[in-house]
Structure 1
Amino acid sequence: MFGIDGSEFLLFAVVALVVIGPKDLPKAMRVVGRFVGKARAMSRHFRSGIDAMIREAELEEMETKWKAENERIMAQYADPVLPPPHVEAPAPPLAIEAPAVDVPAPEPELPLGAPAVETPVEAKP
């Protein structure tokens, strides 16, 4: 961290102990710790904002490339039967007439409670 090795950190701690004093050193370390924490949080927030902007720019660039590639592929492999996507297809006819078909008339229904008529069966000799 900051390129400080063990001997330099020890020298810094001894100078802080002599200058600040043993009584006020814990308070000073708390203040320094809070300041370093806030600085790290601000740095993290700034970095995440920059990363988000970079991702958005990359996505926009990829979308334009994909759109151009899609148009190239659609032009290359266009189906001759289907109209191009920018041309409107003709409207379907409003009514379709079905051919006339002879439909047999339905058998009449018996009213409720009427006895069913049985057809006589011929007995075989």
Structure 2
Amino acid sequence: MLDFNAPEFLVVAVVALLVIGPKDLPKALRFLGKWFGKARGVARQFRSGFDSMIREAELSEMEKQWAAENERIMREHPQPALPAPQPEHFATEDGDPVMVEQPELFAAGETVDEPAPAKPKRVRKPRAIKPSEAAE
């Protein structure tokens, strides 16, 4: 971009000192620094947007290549389709669904144990009031 060497930079500094003056030179340099910072931020944002567009284009191109390769592999090595489930296994003759008996969780005559009762909560003693707090 810009290529400044030491003598050129020294000439620019002397001209700026003569034109702007020693009193306003720090303000001018601060103003110039802010504008350079804003310009670099805009350039960085533009570059990151451009990079993300390139990355998305590359990804879409790779997805197309993968899809074409997958299609080629599927053509070369076809898989037999699984048979569809037969409706007679899932419905009665009149078309109603078959109801399945619910499994028993406990054997006949077995009882369910009651859970243990919860412990009572501990009650705290009230805090003693200090004489200095009572005066307030």
Length-normalised TM-score, structure 2: 0.61
Counterpart residue number, 1:118: none
Secondary structure of 1:4's aligned partner: coil
CA distance in 2, matches of 1:12, 1:66: 57
Q: Is 1:90 paired with 2:84?
A: yes
Counterpart of 2:89, as a letter, is A
Counterpart of 1:11, as a letter, is V
Counterpart of 1:29, as a letter, is L
* Deviations, residues 9-47 of structure 1 (Å, cap 9, x unaligned): 111001100110000000000000000000000000011
Q: Aligned-residue CA RMSD in angstroms?
A: 1.8
Q: Is 1:12 paired with 2:20?
A: no
4+ runs deviating over 2 angstroms: 88-94
Structure 1 unaligned regions, length at least 5: 97-125
CA distance in 2, matches of 1:50, 1:56: 10
Structure 2 unaligned regions, length at least 5: 91-136
Secondary structure of 2:44's aligned partner: helix
Secondary structure of 2:89's aligned partner: coil
Q: What is the aligned residue count?
A: 90
Length-normalised TM-score, structure 1: 0.66
Counterpart residue number, 1:53: 53
Counterpart residue number, 1:3: 3
Larger Rg: 1
